[in-house]
Amino acid sequence: MKVLLGVGGSDHSRRALKETIERVQETGDDLTVAIFSSEEVEATLTDVESDVRAVLEDANVEATVRRITSHPGGELVQLADEEGFDRLVIGGGTRSPLGKIQLGSIAEFVVLNAETPVTLIR
């Protein structure tokens, strides 16, 4: 299976990365990681990329790493739909003070707009 994972440097992105890597280790899926910087996180694109590469290396998992620069949600959807990915994976969902789950804008855009099946890890 050809899997596209979007990683933006937030905590839930990091969890999505970890879980996807564990899955790839079992299945041998063909993984592409698309990195972007999101407004809620201070990390630069370079920070996110080096973090992702380090995690991949630790896990001994091969993956293509690509950068997304303009509209993360839109580009993720376009990449997944146009390049024949079987699944698009993203992290998302923070908790309000009293525990309600709230989807971030990128996660929401992807869930609503992708033709490719989406896995939301929260």
Partner 1 sequence: MSEDRSYPAEVSGPFPTPPHDFVDDEGRDIVVRIANDDREDLVAMYEDFDPQDRAQGIPPVGERSIRRWLDRVFEDDCLNVIAWHGEDAVGHSMLVPDDEDAYELAIFVLGSHQSAGIGTELLGTLLGHGKDRGIDRVWLTVERWNEPAIGLYQKVGFEIRNTESFELEMAIRIADRE
Residues that bind partner 1 (CB under 8 A): 95-103, 105, 108
CA angle 74, 72, 106 (to 5 degrees): 85
Residue 106 CB, shortest distance to partner 1, in Å, is 11
| Residue number, 25 or 102, with CB nearest to partner 1 | 102
| Residue number, 51 or 93, with CB nearest to partner 1 | 93
| Residue number, 60 or 96, with CB nearest to partner 1 | 96
Q: Are strands 94-95 and 101-102 parallel, antiparallel or unpaired?
A: antiparallel
Residue 40 CB, shortest distance to partner 1, in Å, is 11
Are the beta carbons of 52 and 65 closer than 8 angstroms?
yes
| Residue number, 60 or 100, with CB nearest to partner 1 | 100
Residue 99 CB, shortest distance to partner 1, in Å, is 5
Residue 41 CB, shortest distance to partner 1, in Å, is 16
Q: How many residues does the chain have?
A: 122
Which residue from 114, 93, 116, 113 is spatially nearest to 104, judged by alpha carbons? 93
**Spatial separation of the C-alpha atoms in residues 71 and 106, rounded to whole Å:** 9
